[in-house]
Amino acid sequence: MKKESGKSVNVYSNNPKPEDDIPEDFYSYALIKIQENLSKSEIEILRNIKLNRKVIKKCVMNIPYNLYLTGMGEQLIEHFYKKWEIKKILIKIPAELTRNNEPLFLSSSQYGNMCKIIYIVLTQELPSLKNLTDYFKEIITLLNKLDLPVTWITPSGLKIKYSQIKLKSIKTKTKLISNSRPVTISLPTDNTNKIKMIRSFMPNFIHSLDAANVHILLELLAEIDNIPVYTVHDCFASTPNNMFLLEDKVKKAFIDIYFKDDGYLQKMHNNIIEQIEATTGIIKLDGKVYIDVKPRIEMPDFPQAFKNKDMKEFIKGLLNSKYFIGLLKSFFNYLLF
């Protein structure tokens, strides 16, 4: 667990006077990295682009939810304008988003290169994100090969079995009305949509952890009488006189999930190995775990960066953080960035 990345998302503070802290802004940090790469682009026109926090914020938020390059292009275009010129589309970058304060026009190829630069920064240059997303992709691909559903138990004890069924589209038409139009309906098949499994796992997994945090928080608050609490996904509210107590319990719920013993992600990894062992069998050789099939398949290693070591000091910094709950979206902000 890195203290610097924790500080950048307001999870960790070692300031002896936390009341003097100011909230960190990860979006601004990501923007600096993006601008550095745009300024070094081999394409001259891209070096004149000066994005702002608002333009890249949605992309940063959605990267942990498996946002792909095409999706990023669709999100960024909301801040620009399309212009048709002799059977081709130009992307207009407004003056306020350029270095010389004059609008410029990108070809489709140039716009694609700009999106690619932003995508590479967010998925490869920012610490930890690529390691964890690659690990989960390998895990889901492995389970797909074994025709096993993705099964996990949330920190609050809820068992989730997740799979995506392929749908088959068919057209049908009523015989009661002769001039009626055909209607397309989707019917489930017996096959798994393996590509969709890989793409959709992360958002569902993250949402399950957010929900588990609420479950554990409510259990902690149940020990105290007359504490009103309102939750919307990963946002929490209470009456003003109870906010400090609520903040303390939210932090303790997160500590229970991510820092207790080996941490939840390591426990989940071990649980997946147990599932595979129970259905297919495993073999341990030279410190590696292999699936007992022909040919043998090596079990993906759990990323070293996410293994809990001595967490006492980090937990102390978490409890010391003034803006942990005020700017909280999900603890995955810290895990991924």
Q: Which of 76-80, 295-299, 318-322 has the lowest mean pLDDT?
A: 318-322
| DSSP line for 130-194 | HHHHHHHHHHHHHHHHTT--EEEE-TTS-EEEE--EEEEEEEE--SSSTTPPPEEEEEEEEEE-H
Taking only the tens place, the pLDDT of each residue in 115-142 is 999 999 988 877 556 677 788 889 999 9
| pTM of the shown model | 0.75
CA distance 66 to 207: 13
Six token digits for residue 72: 């990023």
Sign of CA dihedral 74, 30, 232, 153: positive
> What is the pLDDT confidence band of residue 8, given thresholds at 50, 70 and 90?
low
Q: What is the mean pLDDT of the chain?
A: 83
> What is the pLDDT confidence band of residue 334, given thresholds at 50, 70 and 90?
very low
CA distance 164 to 201: 10
Six token digits for residue 20: 């003097």
Taking only the tens place, the pLDDT of each residue in 179-208 is 778 888 888 888 888 888 888 888 888 889
Reduced to 3 states, what is the DSSP secondary structure of residue 82? strand
The arithmetic mean of pLDDT across residues 93-113, rounded, is: 94
